[in-house]
Chain A
Amino acid sequence: MLTGPLFLIVLPLAVAAVVYLLRRWALIAASLASATVFVMASLCLRLPLDRSVSVLGWEVALGEPMMVLGREFALEPAGCSTLGFIYLIAVVAFLFAWRISQGRLFFPLGLVILSLLGAAVMVRLFLFAVLFLWIASLVAVLIIQGERQGPSLRLGSVQATELRAGPGRGALRYLVMVSLAIPPLLITPWLIDLQAVNPDNLALLHYAAVLLAVGFAVLLAVVPFHGWVSAVAIDAPPVVAAFLFTVTNAVVLLLMLNLFQSYPWLSEDPQVFGLLRLGGLLMAVVGGLLAFAQQDFGHLLGYAVLGDMGCTLVALGAASPSALTAALLQVAHRSVGLMLTAMGLAVVRRCAGSDSFASLAGVARRLPLSSAGLVLGGLSLAGMPLTAGFPSRWAIYRLLPAPGLAFAMLLSGAGVAFGYLHGLSTLLGPSTESKVKRDPLIASLMILAMIILCLGLGLRPQWLLPPIQRVVESFSLVARR
């Protein structure tokens, strides 16, 4: 009998080894990687957790726990939905990377990262979940740095060189910040265990809460620990950046919610949710303000994501079932907008050789679909009406306890929208660059499909509600406050 954890951890690792050997043949590598991840996503989203079923002659028990070196791995409903979601995002990323290269290591290392994140989601102990997350992030450094296609490489102009963050800065910042976040998170379980032995010593719980706040603040890029987001956005291949922002953020949020569910003292502390709201507000405001002032799509992507993640945290801070549903819906919708804008950006960078507004005048005429995807995805991140980002944003605005908070979120979205509309005006402006290549056909078709999905989710957000409500039911303590 095949247990879920064994399958979801070992399969991507095994395929990663094969894909690594075949990495020079993008079509084969992409097909193998995306097919594997698609199978994993199908299993997570379709198979029941409470019984075993026969799949192609194999007996698969998705919910069956597995013991490795005395540690238990098990797939819970929330983890199952989260993994299904990140696997679907990975399928899109891998398929797109077939046509617009995101570095040859993206396929094998992407699979390794998915395997490690799967282990982080399924392992019972928080301590080991953090360690798996750390290892996955360290592997991710290699794909952030891998075969960068920065503007300066293409243009070789002084202006474009100035835009770039510096050799390896994105990867370096990500490496440092993630590694700084881990030690506080590793100490926390020891403090909680110590408090269980000394129930009168409540100071231990206070220290644990502070350490958790610091660790998660760094991982979630809460201001002032947000520098790595824009550095990764400008330095990494766009789809790699979108992949990382989506999958790691989803897993970090899941770990945080699991903690709230496991430790009632944490979910009953109003200060914790106040901190979430404050952190989210800072991220949204800073993201919106900085996005407003950007002159290139790389930085804009980073700050747009930052602002959107801030809105998610504010919604989590509201701590009600509806707010949790809206927050998780936003995570799902963000992934669509983010992937769409990243795909558009990848094509624009490849065909135009730059992502700075100054170099992209009139590019929309040569790259209409990519430009549309780039801007529409960005507007979705800003929460503009008719895009995927709007319904969850609207729900969050309505659920916030203070009108001032909603207004700040709205302004943040306006800042991001202005940034993208500014970019759009340049893309539609008079052309100065005649050497821009045409939209690549297959990549454009993928972008078109994502555009339809983005608009479809904007009009019918209830498509994603059933799986999200199943996740919300798993976090009764958080939602019941």
Chain B
Amino acid sequence: MPTLPDVLAKLSFLTATPAIVGLVITASLIVVIRDWRLSLAALSAQYVLVGLLLTRLIQPQVAVTKVLIGALVCVVLYLTARLASTGEEEPTSEQEAAEDSRSPVRAIGGGTPLADFAFRLLAALFVGLAVRSLSTRYPLPEVSSNIGFACYWLISLGLLVLMLTDEPLKVGMGLLTLITGFELFYSALEHSLSVVGFLGIANFLIALAIAYIIAASRAEVTAEERG
């Protein structure tokens, strides 16, 4: 049975440019796609790719722990979104669509209008250009240039998500993306296991808080609908 170092050695080809490209794609998907399943899949992939990059900065065991925490976060968000989307149907009229816009889980399972998609894509492209410029002019200390680019990219796109939406699930994904980008950089600065533990707890609590907000908002909307 292959050990962890064996597995990581086999995946070592992924720890450079492919992982960075993967992160560019996953973070972009979180920004432009409104379907929660795709976004959550992108977030999961993002945790794996960041874990691979982290093996270059910290002990592999710690990197794997961070991936596991990411997996746990995604499970929490998946279960919540699935629960919240149960019974949600596509609006059939303008009035229903307007009512639906007040729901905390709107757009969960819904399609993406073309204009919205184009706007988000354009915004992501502009941010991408800014990130490219930032990472060249102000390289982050203690990390290589491509990891610095990945940190800037994740933090910027996380911020972009926070600016573009007020849906709890999407906000949670944006926040987690931003924190992931920060952790990628911070892992190079602070190697303390206690800090890793604290950051893991914080990630998990963010997911729990988002889940709680979605569930409570859903209950509130249901109560309002019942009069």
Contact = CB atoms under 8 A, between A and B. Distances in A.
A147 B195 CA distance: 33
A186 B208 CA distance: 22
Contact of B212 (A145, A156, A176): A145
Contacts of B212: 141-142, 145
A345 interface: no
Contact of A146 (B190, B201, B208, B216): B216
Contact of A167 (B190, B199, B217): B217
B191 to A, nearest CB: 11
Interface in A154-206: 156, 166-169, 171-172, 175-176, 179-180, 182-183, 186-187, 190
Given A172-B166, A183-B182, A190-B190, A141 B202 contact: no
A259 interface: no
A421 interface: no
B96 interface: no
Contact of A172 (B168, B202, B205): B168
A179 B179 contact: yes
A71 interface: yes
Contacts of A131: 195, 198-199, 202
A148 B212 CA distance: 12
Contact of A171 (B186, B195, B205, B213): B213
B209 A142 contact: yes
B50 to A, nearest CB: 15
How big is chain B's contact interface, by range?
35 or more
B224 A134 contact: no
B116 interface: no
B84 to A, nearest CB: 11
A187 B186 contact: yes
B72 interface: no
A23 to B, nearest CB: 15
B148 interface: no
A179 B102 CA distance: 25
Nearest to B155: A183
Contacts of A145: 209, 212-213, 216-217
Contacts of A139: 205
B206 A167 contact: no
B224 A152 contact: yes
A153 interface: yes
A134 B202 contact: yes
Contacts of A128: 194, 198
A175 B198 contact: no
A135 B201 contact: yes
Interface in A45-75: 69-71
B104 interface: yes
Given A69-B194, A179-B175, A190-B190, A172 B224 contact: no
A153 B224 contact: yes
Contacts of A142: 208-209, 212
A138 interface: yes
B162 interface: yes
B102 A183 contact: no
Contacts of B198: 128, 131, 134-135
Contacts of A186: 186, 190
A220 to B, nearest CB: 20
Contact of A175 (B166, B175, B220): B175
B219 to A, nearest CB: 9
A369 B162 CA distance: 42
A172 B216 contact: no
- Of the candidates A69, A147, A150, A172, the one having the most CB atoms from chain B within 10 angstroms of its own CB is A172
A405 interface: no
A182 to B, nearest CB: 8
B202 to A, nearest CB: 6
A176 B162 contact: yes
B130 interface: no
B190 A179 contact: no
Contact of A156 (B199, B208, B224): B224
A187 B189 contact: yes
Contacts of A171: 209, 213
Contacts of A138: 202, 205-206, 209
B195 to A, nearest CB: 7
Contacts of A70: 194
Contacts of B162: 176
Interface in B155-195: 162, 166, 168, 171, 175, 178-179, 182, 186, 189-190, 194-195
Interface of A: 69-71, 127-128, 131, 134-135, 138-139, 141-142, 145-148, 150, 152-153, 156, 166-169, 171-172, 175-176, 179-180, 182-183, 186-187, 190
28 contacts: A69-B194, A70-B194, A128-B198, A131-B199, A135-B202, A141-B212, A145-B213, A145-B217, A146-B216, A152-B224, A153-B220, A156-B224, A166-B102, A167-B103, A167-B216, A167-B217, A168-B104, A169-B166, A171-B209, A171-B213, A175-B171, A175-B175, A179-B179, A182-B202, A183-B179, A186-B190, A187-B186, A187-B189
